Amino acid sequence: MNDHPIRIHVRDDLHRSRLTVFFRPLLVVPHVFWLLLWAIPVFILFPFMWLTALVIGRLPAPIHHFYCAYFRYAATVAAFAFLTANPFPGFTGTPGRYPVELELPPDPAKQGRLGIFFRGLLAYPAAALAGAVGGVAELAVFGGWWAALFTGHMPRGLRDVTAYYVRYSSQVNGYFLLLTGTYPNSSPVIGTLIEPPLEPAAATPMAPPPAPPVVPPAPVVPSAPAPQFPVVPSAPAPEPAPAPEQAPEAGPEPGPEPSPPES
Amino acid sequence: MICGWPVAAYLLWQTSVPSNLNPPRVKAASLVSARARSEARSFTRVEALLILGSMLTLLAVLAVYAVIGPRFTRESAAGPIGTGIMLAILGVGIVYVIQIPWGILTLWWERHKHIADTSYGAWVGLYIDQVWFKALIMSLAILIVVGFARLVGERWWLLAVPVWVGLLLLVTFVSPYLLSGQTHSLASTRLSAAAQRLARDEGVSGVPVRVLDVGGPPNAVSLGVGPSRRVLLWDTLVDGSFSDRQVEVVIAHEFGHHAHDHLWKLLGLEALFLIPAGIVVARLTRRRGGMREPAAVPLGLLVFFALQFLAVPALNAASRRMEAEADWSALQATQDPAADKALFQRLVATSLDDPSPPWWDYLLFADHPTIAQRVAMADAWQRRNRQAAQATSAQSP
């Protein structure tokens, strides 16, 4: 069961343009610059929002929506930078236009004040794990870069590793910044929803945008031969091979310190 | 606009160097030994050919990209401006990759002639930094151009040029502060005192002189406008290779740039170039939908850089005029034509400047007067002041 409110929808077809893959470190430059500018008000506001959340038990709704927009954009930039997705992302993080998108809680949720008070400390173990996963993701990007240059495709396993990192680090950052009181879920599967690829028209800037902002997840149908880490359900296969879905993992365990902001 | 452009060009062309100076013709052979001249000549020929090769390669690559670039719009999920940014950055990336061999060859040549001592690894690091910086600048440029094109149509340049020049002004103002942590004051108290005196004489009191530890051929630069004005000297200029009098000439020259508002004039020249360039780009990209359409960006890049290449002789001529004005200002302030001439003759050895380059080299690459021209100006100043001194003594009882 997908019980974390921050989830990632992956609607990528594994195709990668060799030219944009080669120049990926250059193409992310304007996005990183814009993300850093956007991060300034996010982090300046945070101490005040932390105090506010201590009083009212949640983030104020406008701030919650502002943070969600930031996270949505940051996730698309991370997906682009880590080769999780192919197209060059827009600069607004508008939902429904990118093959890899973050699903975020639509409204601010009530959270325990004790959890809010110790949020930095509690987020520390998750942040440490996110750092380790980030290292693995970087290796995946390195391998994926070479593979995509030669084959024009990102290997599925490597793509899924990077998708896991984008999702998990978003959950860690979202937890730290009070978007949710649900502890980040380190399972590589839960919260990572692999779905049919977006239609090409829906991913180009010239076509009209799709009506639903977030596509509901397709039924999870793992492919018959269990693939390597992580276990990722593929799009519905011609031969049905049902397998029991993974049960959700246990809840969070407390720990120290805040996570670094997502690049 | 049609009347304003030539008026602005005329005003920017004005200089305080007397029009009746009639500098003597100075032969390169009289300035330096035949061997030094031959060294300088061979260095600058090859350097010029490498730079020319690099520029022509850039245009050829952009021409190919203008044809195939639009097909990459399908690799973008961004809007028109974002897609335009993507196409522009791809163009920058392709150009920089193709130019790597030229850069390495140029570095090898400069190291071979002991002009540069940068390692290849350091060069690669600097090159990568440059590419990232260019990507950011290009993103901003496309944001402005495509953004205004989508707002106001084909006359986007009417808004884009002032905005761009405004940003350049901001960068010009801020850049000295960004470098301040990497500079230090002059070690020599004598030079510091001389710098203050020269600043006072040229009407730019309070403009500090700082030293930048960069190595390489000796150089100096004027930075900033208004309160951010600075003069930066390369450490290789003040390491004892040049006499104090020669360094004073350099300081006075850089003060001359500030005294005559050359940095403001450069911004004005930039605007003078960008306005017609914008009109031509807008016109030639019409068949791709104009600059409001991201598919026009690759063609727009080609047209812009081709225009920049064609404008080089005119821009160099304007630059030479400003440099000559700064030289004249230095002569007036230091009253030391001997040090002036000795400095430029020394530059032939340290920087392998050809004292009298061929016409094509002069046209395309000479943004400063030649060594021969600079020495001739010093001679003309000397003659003029001798005549003035003689006239004064003849009139006195």
Q: What is the pLDDT of residues A168-181, one digit of tens each?
A: 999 999 999 999 99
pLDDT of B272 > 70? The answer is yes
Cβ-Cβ contacts under 8 Å, A23 against chain B: 89-90, 93-94
User: Which of B65, B68, B75, B98 to mutate to probe the A interface, most A CBs <10 Å?
Assistant: B75
Shortest alpha-carbon distance between residue A117 and chain B (Å): 39
Shortest alpha-carbon distance between residue B90 and chain A (Å): 7
Helix B120-152 and helix A29-56: axis angle, to 10°? 70
- Average pLDDT score over chain A: 81
pLDDT for the residue numbered B32: 76
pLDDT for the residue numbered B392: 65
Least confident range from A190-199, A237-246, B266-275, B381-390: namely A237-246
Whole-structure pTM value:
0.82
What is the pLDDT confidence band of residue A231, given thresholds at 50, 70 and 90?
very low
pLDDT for the residue numbered B241: 86
What is the pLDDT confidence band of residue A239, given thresholds at 50, 70 and 90?
very low
Respond yes or no on whether ipTM tops 0.90.
Answer: no
Shortest alpha-carbon distance between residue A75 and chain B (Å): 14
Cβ-Cβ contacts under 8 Å, A148 against chain B: none
Least confident range from B124-138, B303-317, B341-355: namely B341-355
pLDDT of A77 > 70? The answer is yes
- Average pLDDT score over chain B: 90
CB contact under 8 Å between A204 and B131, yes or no, is no
Q: What is the pLDDT of residues B63-113, one digit of tens each?
A: 999 999 999 999 999 999 999 999 999 999 999 999 999 999 999 998 998
Q: What is the pLDDT of residues B113-126, one digit of tens each?
A: 888 788 899 999 98
CB contact under 8 Å between A20 and B72, yes or no, is yes
Percent pLDDT > 70 in chain A is: 75
Is the minimum CB–CB distance between B129 and chain A shorter than 8 Å? Answer: no
Convert chain B into a string of H (helix), E (strand) and C (coil): CCCHHHHHHHHHHCCCCCCCCCCCCCCHHHCCCHHHHHHHHHHHHHHHHHHHHHHHHHHHHHHHHHHHHHHHHHHECCCHHHHHHHHHHHHHHHHHHHCHHHHHHHHHHHHHCCCCCCCHHHHHHHHHHHHHHHHHHHHHHHHHHHHHHHHHHHHCHHHHHHHHHHHHHHHHHHHHHHHHHHEEECCCHHHHHHHHHHHHHCCCCCCCEEEECCCCCCCEEEECCHHHCEEEEEHHHCCCCCCHHHHHHHHHHHHHHHHCCHHHHHHHHHHHHHHHHHHHHHHHCHHHCCCCCHHHHHHHHHHHHHHHHHHHHHHHHHHHHHHHHHHHHHHHHHCCHHHHHHHHHHHHHHHCCCCCCCHHHHHHHCCCCCHHHHHHHHHHHHHHHHHHHHHHHHHCC
Shortest alpha-carbon distance between residue B75 and chain A (Å): 5
Least confident range from A185-189, B204-208, B265-269: namely A185-189
Is the minimum CB–CB distance between B370 and chain A shorter than 8 Å? Answer: no
